[in-house]
Structure 1
Amino acid sequence: MKLDQTRQVRSMALAAAKRGFIEQETLWDLACRIALGGASSAKELLAELLTPEQLAQITTEPLEDASLPAAGSTEQGASSTEGRAPTAPTSTSETPATQSAPNGRGANAARYDLGASLGTGGAGNVIKAHDREIGRAVALKMLKPGADAEAGLVERFLAEARITAQLEHPNIIPVYDLGRLVGDAPYYTMRIVKQRSLQDVLTSVELRRQWSLVRLVGVFVQVSRALAYAHRRGVIHRDIKPENVLLGDYGEVYLADWGNAKLLAGLPEHGRATDGADEPLQIHEANRSFDRKRNEVLPSGLSGTPGYIAPEQIRGDSGLIDHRADLFALGVILYEILTGEHPFDAPTVLAVILATQTREPKAPRSIVPNCPLMLEDLCLAMLAKDPSRRPASADIVVSEIDAFLDGAKERSRRREEARKLCGLAKAPLQRDRELTVERQWLEKEARRLLQDVKGHEPIERKRSGWEFEDRAAEVEREQARVNAEAIDLYTKALAYDPDLPEARAGLADLYWQRALRADEERRHAERIYYEALVSEFDVGSYAALLKADAAISFDTQPSGAAVLAYRYVEKDRILVASDERYLGRTPLRDARLSPGSYLFILKRTGYRDVRYPALLRRGDHHHADINLYTEEEIGESFIYVPGGKFIVGGDPEAIDSLRRDEVFVPDFAISRFPVTFREYCEFLNELETRDLGFALKRAPHDTRGSEGYVVQPASGGGWEPIPTVLEGETRKLFRADEGHLWNLPVFLIDWFDAVAYCRYRGEREGAEIRLPSELEWEKAARGADGRFYPWGDHFDPTFCLMRTSRPFIPQPEPVGTFIADVSPYGVRDMAGGMREWVADVHGDKTWTEALAEPEPSVDVERDASPWRVFRSGNWAGDDQRCRSASRSRFFALARNTNLSFRIVKALPRASRG
């Protein structure tokens, strides 16, 4: 195509575009065809796109030498400010078709006294004017000087005025008058509105603080009502944005700037008026865009402000562009109200347009966690890329907002979300139960693998057990994570619905389990804390339990025993039985007491007083069935431990503690103190009468032969402790000439020596005498409430004999020296002094099985002998070994200066669990 023909096509194409006869995309196609020389003449090329009438209009105008706009560009529109200063970004617009000028040009020019400028935008000015006829101030909008020379601009200006004038709605600025000034300049007048927009509120930190969400939503619903009205009248706004929402001083809200508005082909299916009140607008046909082939009224393509333009408008998908494009822009405003952010924010205009088409906006809750769910649902629906997924009409948007402001629907939606979160919490709770089983198994396997490993053995022998310990620790950490996840889900659920029973009950259950665990581990402050949380979230399941008393009933054999109750109270870190209360005589039924740890003392003439410690839990009914024994049956040096349940193990700070459990142990009597040198030398004296060799074998000694003996023949006959058994400061404190050596607990005794002594005592007293089992020893030390030490839960070196109890080098001391080292039953020296052999290896070897193992011969090395267990702390040990749940394994032939034993006596009427 020749140069003059090319210029002709360009000029005619630009004229057609300015009149709205062709779209911008079509203009780009024309540019490509011109460059490729795809046609022989301008008329031939444009005849395919225009009607004969349209072609005749553009061929009568003089040619312009103009460059075609780039593909996808938009022509700057004349966006009215309607009484306020314009703000960026500037709207884009398409040029409507030409329209005849009104009659009576300049007829009303003398009616107005023009004043100061109110604002400027696009091709128009807004001036404050005084209407002489009515006597009021108005905003008069007119074209800028020279703007009417631009083709189609006057027609578009008049169309804007007529469209706005016919939209009579409380939230649309009313138009009062339309005409021409002197010189044929068109104008129209409208109400003056203060120069504040929704954009001003959203972008000002100070103003945003003054506007609550409910107030902003109130503005939004009024804009939605205005838009619903316009849509029913067949008009789409095409430039919805915060700058075009004007705010008055008295709560007025106006949707302004209808300069880009277009007529729809038909009314929306939803929200259509049924009473004939909302008739379609009557606009001159020149203001419509027509498809030449189908002769249908269609909305134009790209129009509006980047960031608010719907994806289908950007794509130029004319088949999908309708009133729902306005709803998309309205959704952007709602997003800004809810979050303070733009959903498609980007550094450049092109990036904003691309993000609008491709990027899904973040959920408002991810930005503002307390965002109302109902508004989030509505907002995201309005921002759907597919118009069919948006609300069908602005009336539906109004209905949803009204429901939110009413509150009922939002409450329902929030409850739905809260229940969903409660459902999600079930998974971590189930996982926690599974992990508990797994952790317990791993801990058991670790103990099994390490129980026979000597401390001095290489790491290779310990590694397998360590691996199980490490896995158990990781499982415990995972439990902490899943518990935290469940608590987080329940807490979020309550944020949506503070009264949801499922969430409150779930948290109450979780915190109750934590309170129980804290109680088990004697962490009283934590127990109180979690019980307070249980009370806060409880929906009735725990209310009675948290306030409930405990009950206890007593039966005794024989009956008639008086029952005194003492509650344990901590004084100077020792639990002391206080506040005596007489409950009655046995049989005693349902005595009510506050939950806690108690000591009950039962008294009946002719029988030993019984000390019966018990842990009374909330709501529990404890039943005690107690045998009474005479002094002769129990024995002077023994303490009666009545049968019943007690808490064993479960001390995380103890060495090799047993797994926590509540077990029944029948009646038994245990010696008040460990066996002393006095008692043991009587045993040696008895042996010597039979065979001196037997006496020497059982005499306390180490491996150094005769030099290692700590006893010797006495001058008057029999055996006695050697004077040098104590040295240094301890020897000064406990002088041998005062008889203190006889009261030292015997030491350098192996397990078989202790068994031989039990046999001797049994024969002498005509009773079953043996070493205590692990459970008997621990019950005698701890009582029933799971305390960590015989005296309570706190430690101090002055409470028992251990390595820091004295300011000098520690050594053995006479039994009973430390008066605080006493158990709830009255058994002494079970935390310090001497480690003590016990009869069995709990869960592995019973007393009977241990007795069945033959004693090794004298030439057998100690580490070749079978395993046994000893309990208690000792004068050379630390406070960890003083804990009642601590236990150690060693070889049965082991002898040590801090290793002794005490004995148990079986009782004739021992109860059975």
Structure 2
Amino acid sequence: MCRSCERTTRSTAKWSPVIRAGEVVGHTCPACPKYDEPIRRTVNGAGVRFRVTLDLGADATGRRRQETRVFGTLGEARAYVLTRGAEVRSERLAGREVTGRDRMTLDTLCSRWLESKRGEVREVTRETYAHALKPVRRHLGARKVQSLTHADVLGLRTWLAREGGKRGQGLGEHAARASLTTLKQVLDYAVRAEGIVSENVARGVTPARGGGWFAVWTFRRLVDAFLTVCESVAYAHSRGVVHRDLKPANVMVGAFGEVRVMDWGIAKILGSALPTAEFEAPTSPTATREGMVAGTPAFMAPEQARGEVHRIDRRTDVYALGAILYYILANRPPFDGPSSAEVLVDVCRGEPAALVGRSDGPLLPAGLVRIAEKAMSAEPDARFADAGELGDAVAHWLDGAERRECALRAVARAAEARRLAKKEVRRARSLRDQAALELAALPMHAEEDAKAAAWEKEDLATGLERSARAHELEMENELNAAFAQEAELPEGHLMMARSFQRKHEAAEAAEDQLAVERLGLLLSHHLDALPTHWPGRGRLDAYLRGFGTLRLHTDAPAEGVLHRMEPVRRRQVAVKAFEVGPTPVSLELPMGSYVLELTDALGEATLYPFVIGRQGEVRHRPPGEDECPLHLPEDLEGDEVYVPAGWFEAGGDERAPYGLRKRDLWCDGFAMQTHPVTHEDWLRFLADQPDDEHVPRNDDGDALYSRGPDGWTLDRPDGSGSWQADAPVTYVTWHSAEAYAAWRAEQDGVPWRLPFELEWEKAARGVDGRVMPWGDTVDAAYCNLRGSLEGPPRLVEVEAFPHDVSVYGVRGLGGNSADWCADAYESEGPVIAGDRVVRDEGAPDARFRSVRGGSYRDGPEAVRCASRWRALPASRSGRVGVRLVRSIDPG
């Protein structure tokens, strides 16, 4: 290795030894004598200071002639170079035109070029022969690059290949021997093969489809190669060399991990005073330019593109390296255009398109994106100081990638545990269903042996469920281990978020509000840890937000006003949200319970309650049918309330006696009387009856009314007072209630009847499954139940409790008196056909009839609107009265 420029060679036989205290301590190459180095050279054993060799050209036989002189002082050597060198050059140029380039002589002692003109020798400057300085820069640059002995720098070979030199091998031969190809070819193949950028997925396709060994390069391998490029350029920066033309086409990669940086032909030596040549016409945006604007436009720094040569330094190469990283990430150069002139304009204007948020490919590693953006900052001061600092940043990211790969292996184990858990849960569910069917087919008194097979399946299902829970715990442990390696691991956070989503759904189905809130917070925590555009996050965000849609049209024009149900003192109160405008209606709304008030052209208002479930959609579509318009009736009377057709939540109240299981059912539209039938109403009915069959009677069969000269009166027969005229009538049989409905239908000319029990439940609970007509709280202040009044329980007038009103406006469904229903009582519930309420009274001689609602005699549990009761049709009770409905069907 040369003691001065560190150039290496296999043999130093033609080099001069460096002698210290009589000992040879090294050698220097002939190109490195300097003023400030006490170098001792020898020629034929004689101690001298300088040796100069001139090439005299070829003689008549074709042999090369050289002239070697030895001088003791630098001045003598310089004088010889200037005089004899000019003479030799003149001899060689005899007989042909002499150009400025031909008249130049290299002063190797001073690293400058001199010109011999009219017998005068002077230094070549930009002002004299700027057009001839390209070979000067190239030659001196090559001398400097020769000193770069880094294994991944193909400097001198590249220069010799471009100059047509005969020493050594050209780049093409070297590349062919080493099976190298350019990084650009690797990246371009990935684009053609529709390769993708992923932190773990291989780019390109298999070699069988063409593309050679580089067709299976992974993204990680490309980043490793880029780090090697950074290290190679960092070494050149440490030697004072700026490449100025870094691009994928000037990086060679091999099948065995080789990475070489090539084409240092326009490299700049920092601190050199050499002038720069004039501007050259543009060619391709990705082709190398030489001149004032030297380099490749698509990978140039802005200061290089503007020709600000004095600002070109190590940070210029940093920008080009950032552009290469951009190419690796985006599969395209940072700037592109039909011509290099247009690309130069774009480069000078500012930064390239952002890498984050691209829709034409997968998400990019945020760390590398930040590195590329910093390296490609428009201002040099905002970039990395040199290629070494850039390489450190990439190496730091790769160190994190190692931890990430370890964490991803834990995520893979977690995914396998989750897969096993799902498989076991499905198997356990199937076994339990089989066991239930087998047990249901057996009589309750069946022997033990007959039930053994079903019990065995239940025990096996229990074991599988226990194993599934263990696998779920294993999944969580593996994910926690992954977070210990990489706290911001998106794949782990996504899997954990999905796990909490499943638990959150189960908690909502169980109506466990505390668990819902806790799991919602945990789900939100893991969602916040995911990148904004991470695949799968959008669905989880939508799930957590819970927005749903309402789409509704009516059979007559109407204006809509939306009300949201808000809790006020334990009651659900409709609070106006905003005006919707004319129908049809299409709204996106948060989760919750709403009421849409629709007012037709006649000013009649229809209340349409609905519930927006998590990511739910509300449409007016009966089961098994197409979507239909909501019917707006025109013939409602003042004492009746319209309950429009639609879906509602039936049952599901575990505290309600004899309640039904939770189901979503469709109920056709009907109108219900605002109040129950009162004593006053019943007296008018009795006045039209030929006998006293339907007179209210107590348990002993005594009439509760008194008969006067003009008929029945509300005076009590025992003389204890009178019944309140506007209190609900009770102590009537189911048959009397049916008779009253028929009489009232004849009187009014409308088909009044008794309500079916699911119609009654919808009118009382609305569509959101509330416990009481006003909300989910049972309170004696809101309806007439046992304890609501001072003194003994008793019936009160129908207007006594103003808060005992449903969302539709029906009064008294929470207490005071219960109501006879039309259908026969069945313990498993009324008849349902395809999730649709069926209006079926059952057999005429049914033993029991349904009764719905609470009364002044009942406690808090019995008055819950999902409670169901039964009674003999001929029985009378002081808690059961009458309420009428009529069907309202479209058309």
TM-score (norm 1): 0.45
> Going by fraction, where is helix more abundant, 1 or 2?
1
Where relative contact order (Cα < 8 A, 6+ residues apart) is larger, the structure is: 1
TM-score (norm 2): 0.46
